[in-house]
Amino acid sequence: MTGPDSLDPRNWLRAASRLFGRLPQMPVRMGKLPDAPAIPVRDPWVGDPQAGARILKGEYAVEGTARPLDAAQWGGEGAAVWAASAHGFLWLRELRAVGSDAARMKARALASAWIAGAGRNAPGAVAVTGRADVLGNRVSQLLSHWDFLAESADDAFRAAVMAQVVEDARALAAALPAEQMDARAFAALRGLAVAGVALPGAEAYLARAMRFLDQEIARQVLPDGGHVERSPAALLAVLQDLLEIRGLLGAVRQEAPETLAAAIDRIAPALAALRHGDGGPALFNGARDELMAPLTAAFAQAASRARAAQRLPEMGFQRLAAGRTVLVIDTGAPAGKGLDRLAHAGTLAFEMSIGRDRLIVNCGAAPAATATWRDALRATAAHSTLVIADVNSSELKGDGLGRRPEQVSVQRHEANGAHWLDASHDGWKKPFGAIHRRRLYLGESGEDVRGEDSIEAATPQPYAIRFHLHPTVDASLQQDGSGVLLRTPSGIGFVLRAEGAKLALEESIYAGGAEPRRSEQVVLSGTPDDGPCLVKWAISKLG
């Protein structure tokens, strides 16, 4: 049935624009199937040999979730993130890091089975295998690991791999512009650029990728260098793709557009703002410890000497740094609809590190896990912030967020090396008519952190303020119960004290690393009988 909106000429023009945008600028004529890439390309990102060794044993781990890497089971149902990585052939990078003949044979066996149809025909896989970002990753991996995977193989295997590359590259060119408006669009553009450089007679693919690059940068890379998804992981992925595209242009002696260079220059200090002293990322919105090595490699390739930004007003994060102490605070509204598929309900959460030691953290993320485990880590209670009545500050849904904070305000002041931050959000306005306000202070030495959490509501609400501790932190209650002693791996001692709430030391879990680890959390809690929430707390160095 034709609705009135379909008769609107503006809608017709938009549809026509999308249709013509999907048509390549010119047909790509490669003649007969290439025997090998015309120009060698190399994956600039080093794999993990331990992950590769695990693949040799039949198991592939993606962002903390391991599943059997059997092509017949590469489904997408309930494991879309894992399936996208598997069908994108990102395991090739890990096997190459092993570098053995056994790893090479395993790679060939997996590729052969998938090309023969076992992988793409697995239940639930169809929706994943032809997605633009998955096509882009698969094209990139097959071409950039050609020498490891196919160069010494027999003619039949090389022909099968190259036929798959050509088929995927054509499908990718037709799929652009990518429907996804998030970071995955850059993976698609990077994949098409790889095809345009490596395949003989396919220069139009590179031109097509560059045709859409500027609009994606404008749409996704914020003026402060952050990313619209508000995730350190997504921001790193975008930087990696842009760096790779820049390298591909250099390989064919094409000058990189100014927009590409400017985006890289903006992203580097923004990403640095979201790092701790150990080089790893702050665990917000899907970030995990395993990004530490890729972060280091990306900064090296970016060749940026810019200092870490202290404010990311558009992305919605603040970095407070004094002495050896770093605090990273989420002070932004959640990502918008269509950009929030992996968003967490962690508004006003913070993380704290001293030198290379993490002290206060969020619990991490498991975007490739089952919905129950994934959402448990997305919940407000899994973050170092306040939660009212065990209700999330943003409503968690399978495809993103429902109810969420609409107004998040922040004011920041600095004087004589000390920092003050005053922030609030209205995420509980609809269910409770409540506003959460958090004030933070970081002294000049970095050894004095103070905070105040309050709930502005017509009636008192039950609450819990959580400080999740890194699993390497040793914690113990003081004998009088007035505080918690905290000792970092470096032997530095701190004490966390509070007034206005009941203080307890409870179990927690840390899912930021390769495997979940037991940890602890300091919990400050109160009930409606205690009156309005106004809790003052401090973390100070001992001695």
pLDDT in tens, 88-111: 999 999 999 999 999 999 999 999
State the Cα–Cα distance between residues 404 and 402, nearest whole angstrom: 6
Q: What is the pLDDT of residue 30?
A: 54
Q: How many domains does the chain have?
A: 1
341 within some domain: yes
Q: What is the pLDDT of residue 75?
A: 60
Element (H, E) at 495: strand 493-499
User: Is the model's pLDDT at 271 over the cut of 60?
Assistant: yes
Tell me, what CATH number does 370's domain have?
2.70.98.70
Q: What is the pLDDT of residue 348?
A: 98
Average confidence score pLDDT of the chain: 91
User: Is the model's pLDDT at 9 over the cut of 60?
Assistant: no
Q: What is the pLDDT of residue 181?
A: 72
User: Is the model's pLDDT at 20 over the cut of 70?
Assistant: no
Q: What is the pLDDT of residue 464?
A: 98
Residue range 109-145, pLDDT digits in tens: 999 999 988 767 766 677 789 999 999 999 999 999 9
Report whether the peptide linkage leading into residue 177 is cis, meaning its omega lies within 30 degrees of zero: yes
- For the record, the structure tokens of 497 come out as 């004290």
The domain in which residue 357 lies consists of 317-541
507 within some domain: yes
User: Is the model's pLDDT at 23 over the cut of 90?
Assistant: no
pLDDT band at 28 (very low <50, low <70, confident <90, very high): low
User: How much is the average pLDDT of 30-36?
Assistant: 78
For residue 163, how many other CB atoms are within 10 A of its CB?
A: 13
User: Is the model's pLDDT at 78 over the cut of 60?
Assistant: no
State the Cα–Cα distance between residues 187 and 486, nearest whole angstrom: 42
| Residue indicated by tokens 């090998």 | 36
Residue range 254-270, pLDDT digits in tens: 999 999 999 999 999 99
241 within some domain: no
Q: In degrees rounded to 5, what are phi and psi of residue 226? A: -80, -175
State the Cα–Cα distance between residues 387 and 520, nearest whole angstrom: 17
- For the record, the structure tokens of 404 come out as 């969420």
pLDDT band at 32 (very low <50, low <70, confident <90, very high): confident
* Portion of the chain with pLDDT greater than 90, in percent: 82
pLDDT band at 5 (very low <50, low <70, confident <90, very high): very low
- Whether the Cβ atoms of residue 104 and residue 95 lie closer than 8 Å to each other: yes
114 within some domain: no
471 within some domain: yes
User: Is the model's pLDDT at 2 over the cut of 70?
Assistant: no
State the Cα–Cα distance between residues 364 and 346, nearest whole angstrom: 11
Residue range 219-229, pLDDT digits in tens: 999 999 999 99
Number of residues written out for the chain: 543
3-state secondary structure of 249: helix
User: Is the model's pLDDT at 1 over the cut of 50?
Assistant: no
449 within some domain: yes
Residue range 54-64, pLDDT digits in tens: 999 999 999 98
412 within some domain: yes
- For the record, the structure tokens of 53 come out as 């060794």
**Following DSSP, what letter does each residue of 156-220 receive, concatenated?**
HHHHHHHHHHHHHHHHHHHHPSPS--STHHHHHHHHHHHHHHHSTT-HHHHHHHHHHHHHHHHHH
State the Cα–Cα distance between residues 188 and 172, nearest whole angstrom: 7
- Whether the Cβ atoms of residue 434 and residue 351 lie closer than 8 Å to each other: no
Q: What is the pLDDT of residue 125?
A: 74
In the chain, the N- to C-terminal Cα span, in Å, equals 75
3-state secondary structure of 82: helix
User: Is the model's pLDDT at 178 over the cut of 80?
Assistant: no
Burial class from Cβ neighbours inside 10 Å (0-12, 13-18, 19+) for residue 514 reads middle
239 within some domain: no
